[in-house]
Structure 1
Amino acid sequence: MLAPVLTSADFLRAFQALMPRGRVWNAEPDSIQTKAAAGLSPSYAAQTARSNNLLIDAFPATTYELLPEWESTLGLPDPCAGPGASTQVRRNQVVARLANSGGQSAAYYAGFAQKLGYGIFITNYAPFRCGQSTAGQALGNEDWFFTWAVNAPINTIVRFSAGKSSAGDPLGSWGNHVLECEMNAIAPAHTILLFNYGDFPTLEDAASLDVIVNVDLPAAFA
C-alpha cells in the first residue's frame, strides 16, 4: 500500500467537513473562516510529505537526508571515497557495508563489489604443480597459493541518475579508488591482492559471468 499523498486542498476540505453546520460557519471560498483554514492546511500537507519521505529515507538504498546518520553508524565517510564523493558513491558504500555478512569466496567478493557499483571477477593463482601444470609454465613459489586478483574495467563510471543522485553531484565520475580501498580492507590478512584493469565486463555484464577464474602463475610475475 502506497503512502497517502495529501495536499493543502485535502486538508482544507477535511477542516471544513469537521466544522459545525450553520450560518456562522461560512465555508464559502472568500470567507474569513476558509482563509484561516487555508493558511493552516499547507503546514499539515508539508508534514505529511515529510512523513512520507521518511519511509524512503529510512532505507539505505534510497536514503538522502539520513545518509550522514547511516554513514556515522558504519564508520563512514572514510578515505576510500575521498573528499567530495557523490551521493550515489556514498550510498553504495553504506549499502555494501551494511549488507556485508563476511566471507572469503569469489562469489562473496564479487557480490560485495557489485553493491559498491563495480562489476568484477576473481582470478586465483597458483605456482607450478606436477601433474596439473604443463611444460612452459612459470614456476613461482608458494606465495602464489595465497595470491588472487580482482579484474575490473579500467574506469568504472558512476553516472548521474534521477532519483539516486542529488543536486550538486557531477554528471559522471569515474575511478576505482573506492573498489581498491574497500577490497583491501576486507581481503584476508594472509593473502596478496592484485588488481587487473583492462577490457573487462561492466557491472551490467558481470551478472552473466562466472565470478572466478583459476589460472597458473602468469609469466610476468614469475
Structure 2
Amino acid sequence: MGVIRKPNTQDDYYLTFSAMQPQGLAWTHEPGSLIDSYLKFMANSFADFDNDICDVADDFVPTTMKYTIPEWLSALELKSTGNDAQDRANIIAQLTMTGSTNPNFYINYANGSGYSIRVKEYGPIITGIYRCGDACATMNDISEMFAVTFISENQEDLAPLEQSMSDILPAWVKCYFVYQPLNND
C-alpha cells in the first residue's frame, strides 16, 4: 500500500547499487554481466522488503490499515461488514468515540439516546462544584485533572445517560449529571 511512506522501487535500488560499485577494469558494468544480474537480484529483494515495511507502517495507523482489520474489530468488539473500507470507518468511529473530550461529541452522543444536554467544563478545583470528600487535583495529586457537568434539559431520569457515558468517558474525567429543564419563558 505505502500510504504513510511510498516504498522505493526496484529501479531506485538498482540505480543506487550501481552508483556504489567501484570503478575500474575488474568491475564490469555491462548489462547482463554477473555483477549486473546480482545488482538486479538485490534491488528486487530490497524493493520487496521496502514494500512490506511500508505495509507494516500503514497498519499502525487505523486510517490506512489493511492487514490488521480483523484484530482491530476483535479488540473493539465490532462485527465485520465484509467491506474493508466500511470496517476501517467503523474502527475509526469507535476509536474517535472512545475517550473523546470534545463537548460537541458528548452532546451528539446524548442526542442519540434521546437526551438534550449542555456541557459545562471545569478545571481542577472549582468552588461550588466539588463537595467535601471529592477527590480533586492538587499540586501533589494529579489523579483528577478535569471535571465536566452534563446538564439534561429534557429528561429527569439520568441513570441511562450516566451508564452510557461511563462506558466512553476517559478515566481522568470527573463527571456530574444534573437535570435542569430549559426555561422557555
Normalised TM-score (structure 2): 0.50
In structure 2, how many angstroms separate the alpha carbons of the residues matched to 1:21 and 1:106?
A: 66
AA aligned to 2:64 is T
Q: Assess, with a 3 A threshold, how the Cα gap between structure 1 residues 88 and 187 changes in structure 2: closer, same or farther.
A: farther
Aligned to 1:92: 89
AA aligned to 1:101 is G
AA aligned to 2:84 is T
Residue number among 61, 68, 71 corresponding to 1:69 in the alignment: 71
AA aligned to 1:110 is N
Aligned to 1:173: none
> How is 1:100-111 mapped onto 2 (pairs within 5 angstroms)?
100-101=98-99, 107-108=105-106, 110=108
- Displacement after TM superposition at 1:43 (Å): 1.5
AA aligned to 1:16 is S
Q: Which residues of structure 1 form unaligned runs of 5+?
A: 113-119, 126-143, 148-185, 191-213, 216-222
Q: Assess, with a 3 A threshold, how the Cα gap between structure 1 residues 56 and 7 changes in structure 2: closer, same or farther.
A: same
CA contact (8 A) 1:110 1:121 kept: yes
- Displacement after TM superposition at 1:122 (Å): 6.7
Residue number among 51, 54, 69 corresponding to 1:52 in the alignment: 54
In structure 1, how many angstroms separate the alpha carbons of the residues matched to 2:51 and 2:89?
A: 26
Aligned to 1:16: 18
> How is 1:108-123 mapped onto 2 (pairs within 5 angstroms)?
108=106, 110=108, 123=114
* 1:64-109 C-alpha deviation (Å, 9 max, x unpaired): 11222323332x344xx5xx53223322332233231268x77426
In structure 2, how many angstroms separate the alpha carbons of the residues matched to 1:4 and 1:77?
A: 30
In structure 1, how many angstroms separate the alpha carbons of the residues matched to 2:29 and 2:40?
A: 11
Q: Assess, with a 3 A threshold, how the Cα gap between structure 1 residues 145 and 187 changes in structure 2: closer, same or farther.
A: closer
The percentage of aligned residue pairs carrying the same residue is 20
Coordinate RMSD, CA, aligned: 3.8
Aligned to 1:27: 29
* 1:2-22 C-alpha deviation (Å, 9 max, x unpaired): 735421112112222222222
Residue number among 7, 10, 31 corresponding to 2:9 in the alignment: 7
Aligned to 2:135: none
- Displacement after TM superposition at 1:44 (Å): 0.6
CA contact (8 A) 1:106 1:122 kept: no
In structure 1, how many angstroms separate the alpha carbons of the residues matched to 2:7 and 2:109?
A: 36
Q: Assess, with a 3 A threshold, how the Cα gap between structure 1 residues 86 and 109 changes in structure 2: closer, same or farther.
A: farther
AA aligned to 1:94 is I
Q: For 1:45, what is the secondary structure of its paired residue?
A: helix
- Displacement after TM superposition at 1:27 (Å): 1.0
Higher relative contact order (CA 8 A, sep 6+): 1
Q: Assess, with a 3 A threshold, how the Cα gap between structure 1 residues 31 and 187 changes in structure 2: closer, same or farther.
A: farther
